[in-house]
Structure 1
Amino acid sequence: MARIGYARVSTIDQDFDGQLARLKTEGCAIIRSEKVSGGSRDGRTELATVMEFLRPGDELVVTRLDRLGRDTRDVLNLIHEAEQRGASVTVLDPHVSTRGELGHVVITVLGMVATMERRFIRARQREGIERAKAAGVYKGGKRKLDYERVKAMRDGGLGPTEIAQSLKCSRIHIYRILQKV
Structure 2
Amino acid sequence: MLIGYARVSSSGQSVEIQRDALLAAGCEKLFDEKESGTSTENRKALADALEFVRAGDTFLVTRIDRLARSVADLEAIVSKIKAKGAYLKAVEQPIDTSTPAGTAFLQMLAVFAQFETAIRKERQMEGIARAKADGRYKGRKATVDVAIVRQMRTDGVRPVDIAAKLGIARASVYRALGEAE
Compared with structure 1, are the counterparts of its residues 103 and 141 closer, same or farther at alpha carbon in structure 2 (3 Å cutoff)?
farther
Task: Give runs of aligned pairs for residues 20-59 of structure 1, distance below 5 A.
Answer: 20-59=19-58
- What is aligned with 2:95? 96
Report the Cα distance in structure 2 between the residues aligned to 1:140 and 1:70, rounded to whole angstroms.
26
Report the Cα distance in structure 2 between the residues aligned to 1:24 and 1:11, rounded to whole angstroms.
22
Give 1:136 deviation, angstroms: 1.9
Q: Structure 1 regions of 5+ residues with no counterpart? A: 143-177
* Counterpart contact for 2:3–2:58, Cα < 8 Å: yes
Aligned-pair identity (%):
37
Q: String of CA shifts for 1:19-66, please: whole Å, max 9, x gaps.
A: 111011101111111111111111011100001111011111000010
Q: String of CA shifts for 1:93-147, please: whole Å, max 9, x gaps.
A: 21320011111111000000000000011001111111111222225479xxxxx
Report the Cα distance in structure 2 between the residues aligned to 1:131 and 1:13, rounded to whole angstroms.
27
- What is aligned with 1:68? 67
Report the Cα distance in structure 2 between the residues aligned to 1:106 and 1:179, rounded to whole angstroms.
48
- What is aligned with 2:175? none
Taking structure 1 as the reference length, the TM-score comes to 0.75
Report the Cα distance in structure 2 between the residues aligned to 1:179 and 1:35, rounded to whole angstroms.
31
CA RMSD of aligned residues (A): 1.9
**Over alpha carbons, which structure has the higher Rg?**
2
Q: Structure 2 regions of 5+ residues with no counterpart? A: 142-166, 173-181
| Count of aligned positions | 145
Taking structure 2 as the reference length, the TM-score comes to 0.75
Amino acid at match of 1:129: I
Give 1:10 deviation, angstroms: 1.0
**Runs in 1 of length 4+ with deviation above 3 angstroms?**
139-142, 178-181
Between 13-22 and 57-66, the greater mean CA deviation after superposition:
13-22
Amino acid at match of 1:64: R
Report the Cα distance in structure 1 between the residues aligned to 2:22 and 2:140, rounded to whole angstroms.
34
Compared with structure 1, are the counterparts of its residues 179 and 42 closer, same or farther at alpha carbon in structure 2 (3 Å cutoff)?
farther
Give 1:5 deviation, angstroms: 0.6
- What is aligned with 2:163? none
